[in-house]
Amino acid sequence: MRPMLAVLRRELAGYFATPVAYVFIVVFLVLTGVFTFSEELGNFFSRGQADLAPFFSFHPWLYLFLIPAISMRLWAEERRSGTIELLLTLPIPPWAAVTGKFLAAWAFTGLALALTFPMWITVSVLGRPDHGAIVTAYIGSFLMAGGFLAVGACVSAMTKSQPVAFVLTTVACFLLLLAGFPFVQDALAGWAPPLVRDAVAGLSFLTRFDAISKGVLALPDLLFFLALIGAALAANAIIIDLKKAA
């Protein structure tokens, strides 16, 4: 546990050692505000409803581009600069390094998400929202961000190039978002059995987050994100262990 916490503290401090963290937070907050209150996009005021549905509806698409920008540096930068060799020679098991880096990135993303609380205050002043549904949506958004980050960390461990890690993570997460869309299911209908189509549909981040954002925190959706994070981190640890052995 101590090695993991040491990596977590090191990584979390590293985010705020450069302006990158502050730029990310500002961009995230500005974009969520623009998308929510814009008449062409969120229609927050013209809807006449005291809820944060417009706010949360854009989170999957914001994460699609912003989360890979965080995850791309987790391992690719270590490999490019050569510091991964130093890290792997320390008495730190691969799982501790992988978990510590992931938790630091997840905590940083959670901080950015928590700083959107003025949205909650705004809707509370304007009406009487369902606070339980808002809390559930925040939990769902945080879990979805963790899923994106876990996938991105695994991809980052495979390459020395941050741009390549960014592109590959964006593509992988885009496919996970679209897995439940009708046109994807239609494309599979011609050759894939129902079991495969259902399995692909079950991978959809968008479908699962849509249910959670409506205030329904179902156990299968919760387990899906946690299982995905666990599987991606296990794959990440295997990749790092192979690099260490090499």
CB 66, CB 171: distance < 8 Å: no
Question: Using a CB cutoff of 8 Å and minimum separation of 24, what contacts does 105-109 make?
Answer: 105/11, 105/70, 105/71, 105/74, 105/149, 105/153, 106/145, 106/146, 106/149, 107/8, 107/12, 108/12, 108/15, 108/21, 108/70, 109/67, 109/70, 109/142, 109/145, 109/146, 109/149
CA dist., res. 69 & res. 169, Å (int): 9
Q: What is the pLDDT of residue 37?
A: 76
pTM, rounded to two decimals: 0.89
* CB atoms near residue 206 (< 10 Å): 15
pLDDT digits over 96-118, tens only?
Answer: 888 999 999 999 999 999 999 98
Q: Please say if the pLDDT value at position 239 is more than 90.
A: no
Lowest mean pLDDT among 17-26, 87-96, 154-163, 220-229: 87-96
